Amino acid sequence: MTRHVTGASAFQNCGVFFVKMVSYKRLSPEDVQFSNTAASEEPPEEVTEVKAPEESERPLLPRRPSCSATTAIISLGFLLLMASGIWLLGTIFWLHAPSSSAPHMAPPPRPSPGVGKAIPDPQACAGVPEAWRFDCYPERGVVVTRELCEARNCCFIPASSPPPVRNSVPWCFYSPTFPSYSLVSLNQTEQGEVGTLVRTVKTYYPKDVLTLQLEVLYETDHRLRVRISDPSASRFEVPIAVPNATEKASSPAYSVELSKDPFGLVVKRTSSGTVLLNTTVAPLFFCDQFLQLSSSLSSQYVYGLGEHRSSFLHDIHWNTLTMWARDAAPMELTNLYGAHPFYLTMEEGGRGTAHGFFLLNSNAMDVVLQPGPAVTWRTIGGILDFYVFLGPDPASVIGQYLEVVGYPSMPVYWALGYHLCRWGYGSSSATWDVVKNMRNYGIPQDVQWNDIDYMDHALDFTFDPANFSTLPDMVKDLHNHGQRYVMILDPGISSVQQEGRYWPYDEGLKRGVFINHSDGKTLIGKVWPGQTAFPDFSDPVTHEWWYDNLKRFHDQVPFDGLWIDMNEPSNFVDGSTVGCPDNELENPPYTPGVLGGLLRAKTVCASALQKTSLHYNMHSLYGLLEAKASANALRRILGKRAFVISRSTFPSQGLYSGHWLGDNRSHWKDMYTSIAGMLTFNLLGVPLVGADVCGFSEQSDEELCVRWTQLGAFYPFSRNHNTLGEPAQDPTAFSPLARAAMRQSLLLRYSLFPLLYTLFHRAHTHGHTVARPLLFEFPEDVRTYGIDKQFLWGRSLLVTPVLDPGVDYVVGYFPQGLWYDYYTGDSVRSKGEELRLHAPLDKINLYLREGAIIPTQRPNTTLWVSSGQPLHLISCLTEDGSATGELFWDDGESLDTFETDQYAEIVFSVVKNTMTSEVLRDHVEASYMTVETASIYGVKSKPSRVTVNSHDAAFSYRDNQVLTVTDLGLNLSQNFTISWM
């Protein structure tokens, strides 16, 4: 790394961190240091250093060279080639065309007064390897020519044939000398440093902010925060609560270097020197509606960045992930329902270290991953406010991220049962019949749902007086059987009902709760009931109005939870029924790759007015704020934990709701991709997540539905949901064999409820994941980094579902160690290898990891009954005969039981042929529970004697080294000991 320390540099060395203000040339790829050469196996070409002119002399636009005859001939040939290329490009379209009009084109070249042209040095351009070319012309729908590119003072090199399309090597990219900001001052503060950044050459986007404020905040030893903002004007900042440090971390695990000219930030892990963040690889942009920050990545292993349909491990080969909440059935390369600008990266070197990055920004954005490896954040509003989390293990990274955005709430117990829904039951009687059939077949079910067909003409807070006249009676019957009822609500409120006939709209209009057009009038869109107004959930007045509506409806139909859908918000027309203004908010200088090509596509106008800010800034927050209003209202109405499932999500969502993965299809591929979605949302702090079991749209066949029910039994949130017009796909709709297999898998889920409930407690109190990728438990095993066909519950239960049709086996990867078959206790010692497992149609393979003790219980058809059944403890011994586990238990529904110490916590352990329980905290709920049986897997020889609290006990021992002790009758509230010799 070429580094020139100037006399004006500031240097500080305090503890294990240091900050340098240094003067860099633009870093070339070979200057980026990785912790392992695997990050860039082919050495990049050497870049010839070109002396940059003084800032005052740097031209924005290239200066044309003189033209010779030879040059003219070459140029003519090139023009012919370009004409042919343009003709070919006539047949190439972007993945998603605009929904109603052409995409907004790139702004024309805009030189500063007095600035001439200077084409980037060809030798310097040629020296930039393809993997490190940062796109200088990212606008979609534009055929980028040499003239257009060089008008931006950028390099133009046709990298390959055919011409570039989305997600490929850019032909137009920044030169090593492209103008950026300079760091002109740096001062120490109580939390870190504050500096001033200055740009003297304007960019090709309008309204450059030429002077910026830099804040570097050493918030904790494992959390660094950096803010880049406009000191002269207030800009939108995301209105979620985040912690504010009051003093500088004493012993940070990171060091920070600040380059002076051009400005850049380099963050390293002090223990290894690994570069976690290096923004010197490309220029910084900060315009009114275009902010861009690029950085090297420490490896190719990148996760998170929801919500997108993809593999769990993201592809970094020119992969653009767009974030702007959108009503779109899950498909690849598309912005979906939520926006989560957070990633986790496993670092190179095989040490299992990880770090995370979070950009606190809600505006429309593109996140570009390229094979450098590198990332570019490109957003069209707000500020650059980002965090780096040091881990060092992946689970710690997630915990540190959730310390910022909030730990997920503790779910009500019945949320973890089996849920059943469909669009098109048609009546409350038909809905009720399905519930009764489930009971008759002894199939577990805790919650019955209704889609929009329960409403009167699709009007929120109503029910069809003819077809759903018995809905209140059905809900009463559910409650009598220990079951619960959830119904859908959409945010669109009908605006065309006769005055005085529809209280939600009349009252909402009176209180002024709806989103307005830019002219101040109520914005009207179109959703299921026809013309609708959209509540502004950024306004506290709207929250009270929402509560009043829910309370009025609850007095008629005593529902237990809410399903909030269409809350991106979704709109059947673009913007509004009268369109949107033609302004820079609707047509920004740069539009990220949103489905439809326009910010207003299938949602409300970007220029619409909300209480907190413009919809342009608030759009992706809509689902979060509606979930907050809904959860708070339910707590007031019920006096218990709220159950809310939301389609649109944003960071902090787990505080208020869970999430389902949207309108999937009844395809095997959709079942497979649901695992990646589930794991990703656990990283994002929304552990109560699952996909529609058996698929939402199209018809599910019997084999697919059986296999999906087996997988769905291990979604943290498990719901079977079906679309209008398709055959029923609830378990009672299939053959006796299929029905029995589904019932067995659901009973299995219910038997594991104590484990699942305890995992949610750990998520709520410590930010742990519930459904967990293998790499979290085996971060030093690189083979786990791409696994998304298997997953863990917690640290110990390995789930290996069948994801292909017509097979009776499945291949699963077993990390190094001792594993036990959950059902039999048979052991497998793996060296870190794939194993072929028998998987008939009625079985999902489960294995337990050595060293675990998990609590299970006798299952029943509802969790209300199951949760009172006796416990069965399964201990899985390590080679030295040890194991540990825990159980969290409370009444399952009261608010803040952990925070108010209204819970029981028991720790189990096995050491030297003795199993003990220790009651860390007692509670009356635990006194109702007994431990009936205990199985110990891995007891190497048959005991001659077993004692329970020093009294002889009956036992059995099998040749596969499983010891079982039955008829224990031990009170969970009292310590006990089981010994064998």
Q: Which residues are catalytic?
A: 565, 568
Q: How far apart are CA 817 and CA 778, in angstroms?
A: 11
Residue 915 DSSP SS3? strand
Q: Which residue has the tokens 């006096």?
A: 639
Among candidates 345, 339, 340, which has minimal Cα distance to 373?
A: 345
Q: How far apart are CA 580 and CA 583, in angstroms?
A: 9
Across 541-672, the runs of DSSP E, i.e. the strands, are 561-564, 644-646, 658-660
Q: How far apart are CA 815 and CA 829, in angstroms?
A: 9
- Please, which residues have CB within 8 angstroms of residue 135's CB and are 6 or more apart in sequence? 170, 172, 173, 368, 376
Token couple for 73: 């001939």
- Please, which residues have CB within 8 angstroms of residue 498's CB and are 6 or more apart in sequence? none
- 777 sits in which H/E element: helix 774-777
Taking residue 66's Cβ as centre, other Cβ atoms within 10 Å add up to: 5
Is 732 within 8 Å of 422 (Cβ atoms)? Answer: no
The one-letter amino acid code at 552 reads R
Q: How far apart are CA 446 and CA 451, in angstroms?
A: 17
Q: Quick one: CA dihedral 65, 66, 71, 75, positive or negative?
A: positive
Among candidates 537, 234, 538, 179, which has minimal Cα distance to 381?
A: 234
The angle at the Cα of 144, spanning 138 to 146, to the nearest 5 degrees, equals 125
Across 912-969, the runs of DSSP E, i.e. the strands, are 914-921, 930-937, 946-948, 951-952, 955-958, 962-965
Among candidates 297, 389, 391, which has minimal Cα distance to 352?
A: 391
Q: How far apart are CA 62 and CA 832, in angstroms?
A: 57
Residue 726 DSSP SS3? coil
In total, the chain counts a number of residues equal to: 981
Maximum Cα–Cα distance across the chain: 105
Q: Which residue has the tokens 């089981």?
A: 978
Residue 38 DSSP SS3? helix
Among candidates 651, 683, 644, which has minimal Cα distance to 239?
A: 651
The angle at the Cα of 96, spanning 90 to 100, to the nearest 5 degrees, equals 90
Residue 746 DSSP SS3? helix
757 phi and psi angles, rounded to 5 deg: -65, -40
Q: In what order do the strands lie in the sheet with 447-450?
A: 689-690, 658-660, 644-646, 561-564, 484-489, 447-450, 418-420, 718-720, 692-693
Residue 796 DSSP SS3? coil
Give burial (CB, 10 Å; 0-12/13-18/19+) of 326: buried
Token couple for 112: 């500063």
DSSP H helices, 333-481, are: 394-405, 428-440, 471-480
Q: How far apart are CA 153 and CA 117, in angstroms?
A: 8
Residue 93 DSSP SS3? coil
Cα distances from 392 to residues 351, 397, 399, in angstroms, run: 10, 7, 11
Strands 871-876 and 644-646: unpaired
Which of the 8 DSSP states describes residue 64?
Answer: P
Query: What is the radius of gyration, based on Cα positions, of the chain?
Result: 30
